[in-house]
Structure 1
Amino acid sequence: MARGTVEGYGQAFVFSENQKLDWCNMFALGVEPPCIRNPNLWPLKPARLRYLTIIPKELRLKRDVFEEMLGTAVQAVRMNYYPQLSITLLNFS
């Protein structure tokens, strides 16, 4: 994660090197409006941002439900990655 932001890939909310971290990484991007996008985190020619139209389709909602609901609000995308734990790492004692 970039210092001072929650955009990028890695751990968010890390305050010290001695802090115990969650077993989860995240990938977060500012999407809308374009002025909040960090161009260093996006490919040079990104594919059209379709997630906000695909998700309503899968939920059987109107295609523009998010646009109607949010208007010109700031939109961001966050995906969590939880690596598979080996059973040998679990300690039940």
Structure 2
Amino acid sequence: MEEVIFQLIMHSGDARSSAMEAIQSAKAGDIEKARTLLEEANEKLALAHNGQTTLIQGEASGQKAEFSLLLVHAQDHLMTTITLKDLAGEIVDIYERLN
């Protein structure tokens, strides 16, 4: 379970970095690069979501997970990254319209 949790944290962190880079690229006027970075963020979030699904399916099949602060942190990291990626997409759209 810890391996899946660390994968969730790692992929979420990578996605967050890509989303932030997308904003910076759009701010610099490179919308094409920003769009590529947003797609990278989506791919990394898909990997994180797969890990989350693995944990949920395990619990649904009777493998009860004990409370883990690390799991709470991983889930928090994933959810805030999803929000950031969505906002980054909106910010890129705004920069594109301004250019």
Q: Could you tell me the TM-score, scaled by structure 1's length?
A: 0.24
Q: Which has the higher contact order (CA 8 A, sep 6+)?
A: 2
More helix, by proportion: 2
**Length-normalised TM-score, structure 2:** 0.23
Task: Identify the structure with the greater strand proportion.
Answer: 1
